[in-house]
Amino acid sequence: MCGIAGFFHPSHIPSDPGVLRAMAGSIAHRGPDHEGLYQDSYCALASRRLAIIDLPGGNQPVIHPETGAVLVFNGEIYNFRELRAELASLGHVFQTRSDSEILLAAYTQWGEDCPSRLVGMFAFTVWEPRDRRLFLARDRMGKKPLFYTVLPDETLVFASEIKALLRFPGVARRFNPVAMDRLLDYGFNLAPSTFFESIFQVMPGSSLLCTGNTRRERIYWRLPEETAALSEDEAADGLRHHLTEAVRARLAADVPVASYLSGGIDSSAVTGLYARLSGTPVHTLSITFEDAGYDERHFARLVSDRFGTRHQEFACSIGEHELENLVWYLETPLVTLLNLPLYLLSRQIRSMGFKVVLSGDGADEILGGYDYFKLLKLMAFIGRKETPGRADLLRRVFPALSSPVQAWAQYRTLKSYPVTHPALPYRFQVFQFKDQLLAPLFHERLTSRRGERLGELPAVPKSAPILNQALLFEARMRLPNLTLTLADAMSMANSVELRSPFMDHRLVEYVFSLPAHYKMRGLNEKFLLKKSMRGVLPGTIWQRRKQPLAPPSKWFVRRFRTAVGDVLSARTVREKGYFRPEFIDHMLREFDADSPMDYSGVLIVAFFLHLFDDLFLRPGRGLGC
């Protein structure tokens, strides 16, 4: 696991090594164990290493002894042993046990087809000095980030994090209002764009080949949509097998591996299978939030007792001065508080001496774990029959609705929306307040760019069952643009490698080959996962209702009310120009009065956008760049 950075120009690059060092230094948290630099007349590459496999022999950059090709690499290749054996049979000779050396040999052997042979999470760059060719690639699911920008003089600058790009002379800090428009609609921006106008991402499952002034993108993987003919029992057995093998692959390390354990079925399944595969007790960790309205410690302890893990619990503890870190490392404004427990968990696990941890990320998106999926199934079932019993079903999904009249009013509104509409319930409460929230000039700015959003949503087959349409949408949108982005940024902020067995692309392909009704039975979310874990986990775990890992937004605003008020003062709101000062003031007064209208989620968005503005758009303030 590393952070990488570099730049390329077909005829010349700056000769000052200080630029490359500054870029590498800005992402030192991703790899505190070693810094490696390479620079010639056309290309410069930097690596910050977090040593996990082949501790003495895995430093980067790696240079091929025959071709002179140079590799920098962020991630883990889980099938490196199989690749090594195959490449050795083809005549390749290895000097180390590192997956980096094997990856460079794989590129030498298979060129642009190399990424499709890899099992793992990765973002890597290969520079071929003989041909003056630069190759960049990113893993299928988008677990590892890779950003780039192209300057007017055709210099291409790339890095694992945007803050490294901003260290390169001439890279602009221009805010991207289209990204903000998406954030307010969906709760996240969409790749390849970022919150900076001229900075982009290499797309998941894609590569970018740069020769001269030409850049060619290639898609090497797409999520399959075919259906396998398996019985429900066979499907559950297959899921357990794929998850077991995914966990097994992610135990490859020359350092100890821990596991997050919230007490929910996702982390419990990963922890339980890890414990079954391990010859020694597994170290597990969970977080609690005082006064957050729920407590999962009992369930985490049940799983720990079942598998004899060495379990530790710790209470959320974060000061106001650390809130900037949540934005600094994520490099986008926030719309969810899921990053808070992820940041604190990784900080705690690192303090315990661990560099690697397993998690249950991604299970909700591919196996139907959100209320959004329940609502879609419910809407398909209800149709136009508005009976009292069916109103009660709606209120199971919308607990805040106090009457059948409210339930049907909400239902009729949502029924007219497509699967991808942001107003669908789990999506984002800011959407309904968008016109009231935005300052007139900023609203006009967003509206003037609305044409750029045409065709931005991924196509989903309308003939597929509604649940499969939604799951495909989640895998293509929410996973790479929110869930996995948060997981990487918050773990690497504390120099921790987070491994997500549910995101093994082979498991994902398997899950999407199964019939939709296997994944959710009635309104029973993640039915197939629960069925697959019978006999593995205590019944209390796979039978219980899902609880969120993120703390409630009301808890956050109450906990940091002073900071929220300071950052969203009327003067600051007017100066920055994003929001209407009178509406911000109204929301704060309603919150303080404990109004039944919950504005806390909207306040969080405004609060973190202002922090983002301070940190990234106004040099010299906050942490700076």
- pLDDT value at position 502? 99
Please determine, for residue 621, whether its predicted confidence score (pLDDT) is greater than 70.
no
* Cβ atoms of residues 512 and 225 within 8 Å: yes
How are beta strands 62-63 and 257-260 bridged, if at all?
A: unpaired
For position 255, what pLDDT does the model report? 97
Distance CA 320, CA 599 (A): 21
Name, of 119-128, 327-336, 520-529, 611-620, the range with top average pLDDT: 119-128
CATH superfamily of 232-365+469-516+532-543: HUPs (3.40.50.620)
Locus of tokens 């989640």: 474
pLDDT at 387: 72
SS3 3: strand
Which whole number is the average pLDDT over 131-137? 98
Q: What is the mean pLDDT of residues 562-582?
A: 97
* Residue 253, CA distances (Å) to 309, 356, 621 in order: 19, 8, 40
What per-residue confidence (pLDDT) applies to 623? 34
Q: In the prediction, which pLDDT does 451 show?
A: 94
Task: State the burial class of residue 154 (Cβ atoms within 10 Å of its Cβ: 0-12, 13-18, 19+).
Answer: middle
Find, among 200, 231, 197, 194, the residue nearest to 215 by Cα: 200
DSSP label of 613: I
Please report the pLDDT score of residue 596 as a whole number: 85
Percent of the chain at pLDDT above 70? 92
pLDDT band at 293 (very low <50, low <70, confident <90, very high): low
DSSP E strand stretches across 466-606: 497-499
Both ends of the chain: CA-CA distance in Å?
A: 23
Query: Is the alpha carbon torsion for 98, 4, 23, 623 positive or negative?
Result: negative
Contact 585, 579 (CB under 8 A): no
Distances 54 to 2, 258, 294, 410, 553 between C-alpha atoms, Å = 14, 19, 42, 56, 43
pLDDT above 90 covers a percentage of the chain that reads: 72
Write out pLDDT tens, residues 23-43. 999 999 999 999 999 999 999
Most confident of the following: 106-115, 377-386, 532-541:
106-115
pLDDT of 428 above 60: no
Tokens of 449: 């760019």
DSSP line for 11-30: S-----HHHHHHHHHHTGGG
Q: For residue 625, is pLDDT > 70?
A: no
Give the least confident one: 105-109, 203-207, 242-246, 538-542.
538-542
Q: Which of 210-219, 514-523, 556-565 has the lowest mean pLDDT?
A: 514-523
CATH number, span 2-219: 3.60.20.10
pTM equals 0.94
Region of poorest pLDDT, from 185-189, 390-394, 538-542: 390-394
The mean pLDDT value for 320-332 works out to 94
According to the model, what pLDDT value does residue 399 have? 63
Task: State the number of CA atoms in the 13 A half-sphere of 473 facing the CB.
Answer: 25
Q: Is the pLDDT of residue 5 over 70?
A: yes
Instruction: Give me 151's structure tokens.
Output: 């300057």
Tokens read off for 306:
């079942």
User: Would you say residue 545 has pLDDT above 80?
Assistant: no
Q: Predicted confidence band at 622 (pLDDT cuts at 50, 70, 90)? A: very low
pLDDT of 614 strictly over 60? yes
What angle (nearest 5°) sits at the alpha carbon of residue 439, between those of residues 436 and 443? 90
pLDDT of residue 449: 96
Please state, rounded to an integer, the average pLDDT across all residues of the chain.
Answer: 91
| Helix locations, 208-362, DSSP H | 232-249, 265-277, 297-307, 323-330, 339-351
Binding residues for L-glutamine: 99
Q: What is d(CA 377, CA 431) in angstroms, rounded to the nearest whole number?
A: 23
Report, as residue numbers or ranges, the catalytic residues.
Answer: 2
b/e map 546-585, b = 16+ CB within 10 Å: eebbbbbbbbbbebbeebbbebbbeebbeebebbbbebbe
Structure tokens at 502: 């549910």
pLDDT of residue 624: 36
- The distance between the two most distant Cα atoms of the chain, rounded to a whole number of Å, is 75
Asked if residue 2 lies in contact with residue 122, where contact means CB atoms within 8 angstroms, the answer is no
Please report which helix (H) or strand (E) contains residue 75, including its range: strand 70-77
Q: Where are the domains of the chain?
A: 2-219, 232-365+469-516+532-543, 553-617
- Strands 156-159 and 2-8 come out as antiparallel
Pairing label, strands 257-260, 199-201: unpaired
Q: Is the pLDDT of residue 265 over 60?
A: yes
Quickly tell me which residue has 């087809």 as its tokens: 113
Binding site members: 99, 287, 359-360
Predicted confidence at residue 101, as pLDDT, reads 97
- Taking phi over 0 as left and psi of -120 to 50 as alpha, with beta for the rest, 495 belongs to left
